[in-house]
Structure 1
Amino acid sequence: MEDVVVLNGYTAIKDALVDRSELFASRPQVYFLDLITGNGKDMAAVRWGPGFRQRKRFAYTVLKNLGMKVGRGSMEGHIREEANCLCSRMAEYKGQPFDFAHDVTVTFANVICSMMFGKRYDYGDETFQELKKAIDAVVIGLAAGQVISVFPFLRFVPGVNRVATDMFQHVLKLHHVLWEEISRHREHLDRKNPRDFLDFCLLEVDQQDKVEGLTEENVMYMAMDLILAGTETTAGTLLWALLYITQNPAIQQKVHEELDAVIGVSLPTLSHRSQLPYVNACLLETMRIRTVVPFALPHATTQDVKVREFHIPKGTQVILNLYSLHVDPTYWPDPERFDPERFLDAEGNIINKPESFMPFAGGRRVCLGEKLARMELFLFFSTLLQSFTFRTPEGTPPPNTDYVLGLTWSPRPFQVCATPR
């Protein structure tokens, strides 16, 4: 058994994530997390040190080169194309009830997969169906198997170890897909014109310029990090946003009015973002009320540290309860009520950085893809609301806010009707 410290509330979490970030910037040994990351051969679970800093800096630079930015060379055009594909897909349901979780997940996966290995998937693609099933199983298994992370010897006990056995099989499926892509990229690598994340990584494996000792195995695990993080979290956030919009027709009406006044009949672009404060407020309120990764990934202290009157030894696992920030009534009165106007000032302008709000965590371990996620969420949400009115199917109650808690916090399956505007 070992000690685990849970930090709650804005003061304690800001101290650890922002003010003294480096002191809380490592990762603990956690059986399941180490299982899917090759014991820290990736980027998310690697322990604190030069290896982490080099991998993160390199990955961020590559993603920026591939379009994780606003302006020239941005991924905006590709994201807008995917948004149009999603609208076309929704139009096929002709206003009939449907559960669009799969379609939304494919859409976000196509953005990250195009950056990772230069390909997109059709909505019915069999390979993606298997990939999605594996991603879901890993995300849920990480939470369901906590007892084995606490007592690793239970992985040898038949029955009890089923979660670990099943998850490991799905991890192997993800590995298989990624190794196939690495092999294909190695075979067709153009050293003068790298096309995607794997190309840039394979060049670095050969050159060893920026990341000391980088191997193809590191590349595989880093790519898996980005696909897991870049699919489940953003797709879950958009699903929550559409659920709350469907549940609150008056708020949806305000979104439509703002979109019509600012954009008219055309489709949204990132240049419209500053002109659509209410649309942005809806997304921020979604991230507040349903923090998709409520406890982040576990941190560990890099040296002995004191938090208030508590002494925390070096290497102690620290869990950051981000959810506690977002439902604190001191900062968020009536926190279970969906109210986008919390994020608007008296003049109706967006409040971008309110206190007690860290949906992407912060500090040294802040989410690497935050900028991309914000671009995607704005473009997908605004395009869908510009194109459709979402309502509850006739004769059924509005979707409720019950959730499925795995590594991420996802809505339970629900159906809506999307009527073209």
Structure 2
Amino acid sequence: MLYNLIGVSVYGTRLDDDCKEIRRLEEIDRQFLEVAPNGLPSDIAPWLALLYHRREKKVKDLFREFREIVYRLFTKAEAAYVPGKTENFTQAMLAAREEAIQEEKGDAEYLTKGNMVQVILNIFGGGLTVPKDTGILYNVYGANHDPKIWDKPDEFRPERFLDLATGKLRQDLGPLLTFGMGPRTCPGEKLAHVDMFYILVRLMQRLNCSAPGKPSDVNMDGGGSSLFLLPTHAAMSVLFESVAFFPWNWRWITTALVFAVTYLVGRFYHKVSKYPRGPFPLPLVGNLLTLRNVSDLHYKATEWAKTYGDVFTLWMAEKPMVILNSHSVIREALLERRHEFAGRFPTKLGELQLQGNHDIFFEDYNPRWKALRKLALLAVRRYAISESLEKLCANVVDAYVDSLPHGPQLVDSRKPFIYMLYNVIGVSVYGTSLDGEDKNIRRLEEIDHEFLEVAPNGLPSDIAPWLAILYRSREKKIRSMFGEFRNIVEGLFTKAEATYVPGKTQNFTHAMLAAREEAIQEEKDDAQYLTKGNMIQVIQNIFGAATDSSAGELQWLFLMLAKEPRIQEKIQKEIEENIGSAPPVYKDRAKLPFTVACLLETLRFRPITPLGFPHNTSTYTKVGELVIPKDTGVLYNIYDVSHDAKFWVAPEDFRPERFLDPATGKLLQDVGPQLTFGLGPRTCPGEKLAQVDMFYILVRLMQRLSCSAPGRPSDVNLNGGGSSLFLVPMKQNIVLTRRN
């Protein structure tokens, strides 16, 4: 009926004539609702046109045919137009155009034939189907069913529009937004209203309407479209055809998957845009593909800094890691903004080691961490300058050297230092016997070695949790190692605890127990954090970090001594002239400036952790002008600062003399930035302990033996290998020879 009405009123077709063109317009309208009830897929995303090319082509063909028919009907009505005589809407439009032209109105230039055809389509098509032509949707249904405006809005009550007293239509009802609101209100609203009125009244005069079954079975739910609220019958027919044509199901699945992937990719790159720029990351893997062949990340970071600046972002899978690559930005972050950068980046490795306890390494920046760190620093300061440590280090070195046969001995360059430092730990921390081969201490030494071989860069799941699935065996192995390590350490601590007598301190564990007692007696707030589990973790932190860093740095230094025999000769000469064969004590540091300078230069030349340990931002902050969001991992390039030509002359050369006053030969206090043990609140608490351990062991070893290369000195390899986060020497041998 409505299409017949359009045909007669708009184009002047005859009512008694079954106009094929009007029938075809009616068919096209029906086909469009079947093929594209929600509009074109490419309305949502242009690339969806590739997946739904058949549907898009079908809709384009329908629109083209629809327009061609309307254009022909318009042309026929235009040909029958006689000025001054208006028989239909098309001729009314033509008369309006003539009037605008005669009056020379500015609007006349827009009244082309094509535009007039489109206006007619808008007005008379608008009452039938509403085209999706805007990026803004407004919930007409919600407004029409708002209980604040309408009483029982989900019930069909025509009476709500009537005055109960007079039975006349009311004028002060709630908003009806069915035809829109504002400048974009449908221009065909009034026409649609009168069309529906005329047709409804005439139909009710001529026929009755009833349900095919029970009236209650009539379905008043819409279906078939998320944009149009159509009766269920049409929806079910569309749904049936859709199910019958099986490939459409796969297309919907594909669409859903593509949409999900697009959303996730978009969200990832939106997140990327919030961080300092860096190498271009890929979704899911980030920069891992770029990093897979990078063995020396500190070198690569320096290279990237030339392209992206001193502050840039690497993506470890979907985790951002900001790299600070110059002394100025590192100082700004770790000192000037110390509290904002003092957090610890959470890792699976830390979770495995802590096992519900707390420490000063993996713990985040909080009052508990501050309390444990304060206790650790106090204990280290007291212990590092104690006579017991001086004697212990000398005894450990003597025991090792005495175990060597006379004559040159080929040894793994790492093993002597790990052996000696773990013996120092065994005696000084847990009170084990030096002259006995303690199986527990040897096993701790083995686990340390195994861990470096199995996971030189930490756990794969530290980067992305899903990597735990790909590296199941490795993750399981490391969990087992951590469990065994923890059990051994807990057993050693318990033994030392059992021998503790208040007021009598025989080892570092006793010192920690005494500090806890003092805190409890003074009712300090810190006492609540000094549990047995936490104290075990703190001891592991201090001696574990001191052992690994000290062993690594001593290994680098002895490789350098093997490569440069003149440096070894100079150290031995200084020792012989100043302290002779007496075991070194803390005060001897002032007498042996060149020896100390060699240790300092080793720390500069080959820092064991060239990128530090990852910090975490506790709030939104910035470095320079670059914003860094909260909970962002931060690494800082210690190696780059230690090899920056702005601070160090010939930084790639090993020159202990740079730390000495050329006039007096004494140690200089202000040479260049030394960041090997960190900077700011997270500075390694075991720094002082590591430095005195290395000093005592180096001096005593130089008194008792000499070091040389197995072949030519020039063949000694000073490149790091095996890890992108730790700068450890390549596996190689050195020759140790006892001195008379």
AA paired with 1:135?
Answer: D
- Asked if 2 retains the 8 angstrom alpha-carbon contact of 1:18 and 1:363, the reply is yes
How many residue pairs align between the two structures? 415
Q: 1:119 aligns with which of 423, 429, 432?
A: 432
Q: Which residue number corresponds to residue 130 of structure 1?
A: 443
1:165-314 to structure 2, matched below 5 A, reads 165-202=476-513, 204=516, 207=520, 209=524, 210-314=526-630
* 2:728 corresponds to 1:410: yes
1:93-125 deviation line (CA, Å, top 9, x unaligned): 522323353232121122233332122556855
- Asked if 1 retains the 8 angstrom alpha-carbon contact of 2:546 and 2:686, the reply is yes
* 2:378 corresponds to 1:58: no
RMSD value over aligned CA atoms?
Answer: 2.6
Distance 1:140 1:305, change over 3 A: farther
AA paired with 1:196?
Answer: N
Of 75-84 and 280-289, the range deviating more from structure 2: 75-84
* 2:706 corresponds to 1:389: yes
1:179-233 deviation line (CA, Å, top 9, x unaligned): 2123324444434434334345456389474332432222232232233212211
State the distance in 1 between where 2:487 and 2:549 align.
23
Q: Which residue number corresponds to residue 253 of structure 2?
A: none
Deviation at 1:371, TM superposition (A): 1.3
Q: 1:16 aligns with which of 320, 327, 333?
A: 333
Deviation at 1:40, TM superposition (A): 6.6
Deviation at 1:56, TM superposition (A): 0.7
* 2:409 corresponds to 1:96: yes
AA paired with 1:401?
Answer: L
State the distance in 2 between where 1:27 and 1:266 align.
43
AA paired with 2:624?
Answer: R
* 2:352 corresponds to 1:38: no
Of 274-283 and 385-394, the range deviating more from structure 2: 385-394
AA paired with 2:655?
Answer: D
State the distance in 2 between where 1:271 and 1:145 align.
39
Q: 2:662 aligns with which of 346, 350, 362?
A: 346
Deviation at 1:57, TM superposition (A): 0.7
State the distance in 2 between where 1:294 and 1:395 align.
29
TM-score, with length taken from structure 1: 0.89
Distance 1:82 1:150, change over 3 A: same
AA paired with 2:645?
Answer: P
State the distance in 2 between where 1:368 and 1:255 align.
28
Deviation at 1:145, TM superposition (A): 4.2
- Asked if 1 retains the 8 angstrom alpha-carbon contact of 2:360 and 2:373, the reply is yes
Q: Which residue number corresponds to residue 76 of structure 1?
A: 390
- Asked if 2 retains the 8 angstrom alpha-carbon contact of 1:241 and 1:283, the reply is yes
Deviation at 1:386, TM superposition (A): 2.7
SS in 2 for 1:45: coil
Q: Which residue number corresponds to residue 264 of structure 2?
A: none
1:300-358 deviation line (CA, Å, top 9, x unaligned): 12222210111112221111221111111222233222121122232222224422322
- Asked if 1 retains the 8 angstrom alpha-carbon contact of 2:571 and 2:702, the reply is yes
Q: Which consecutive unaligned segments of at least 5 residues does structure 2 have?
A: 1-317
Q: 1:148 aligns with which of 450, 458, 461?
A: 461
State the distance in 2 between where 1:63 and 1:357 align.
20
State the distance in 2 between where 1:45 and 1:242 align.
31
Look at both structures and tell me which one has the larger radius of gyration over its CA atoms. Answer: 2
Distance 1:417 1:75, change over 3 A: closer
AA paired with 2:429?
Answer: M
- Asked if 2 retains the 8 angstrom alpha-carbon contact of 1:137 and 1:167, the reply is no
Q: Which residue number corresponds to residue 346 of structure 2?
A: 29
Calculate percent identity across the aligned residue pairs: 25
Distance 1:358 1:78, change over 3 A: same
AA paired with 1:20?
Answer: R
- Asked if 2 retains the 8 angstrom alpha-carbon contact of 1:258 and 1:276, the reply is yes
1:345-400 deviation line (CA, Å, top 9, x unaligned): 32222224422322111221111111111111112112222333322235786421
1:223-263 deviation line (CA, Å, top 9, x unaligned): 32233212211011111111101100122222222223223
Distance 1:304 1:36, change over 3 A: same
Distance 1:143 1:96, change over 3 A: closer
State the distance in 1 between where 2:406 and 2:475 align.
38
Between the two structures, name the one with larger relative contact order (CA 8 Å, sep ≥ 6).
1
State the distance in 2 between where 1:2 and 1:262 align.
54
State the distance in 1 between where 2:461 and 2:444 align.
25
1:31-62 deviation line (CA, Å, top 9, x unaligned): 22332233672221111011001001112223
Distance 1:188 1:268, change over 3 A: closer
SS in 2 for 1:416: strand
Distance 1:126 1:135, change over 3 A: same
AA paired with 2:646?
Answer: T
Of 381-390 and 394-403, the range deviating more from structure 2: 394-403
- Asked if 2 retains the 8 angstrom alpha-carbon contact of 1:112 and 1:227, the reply is yes
- Asked if 2 retains the 8 angstrom alpha-carbon contact of 1:144 and 1:163, the reply is no
TM-score, with length taken from structure 2: 0.52
State the distance in 2 between where 1:40 and 1:299 align.
20
Q: Which consecutive unaligned segments of at least 5 residues does structure 1 have?
A: none
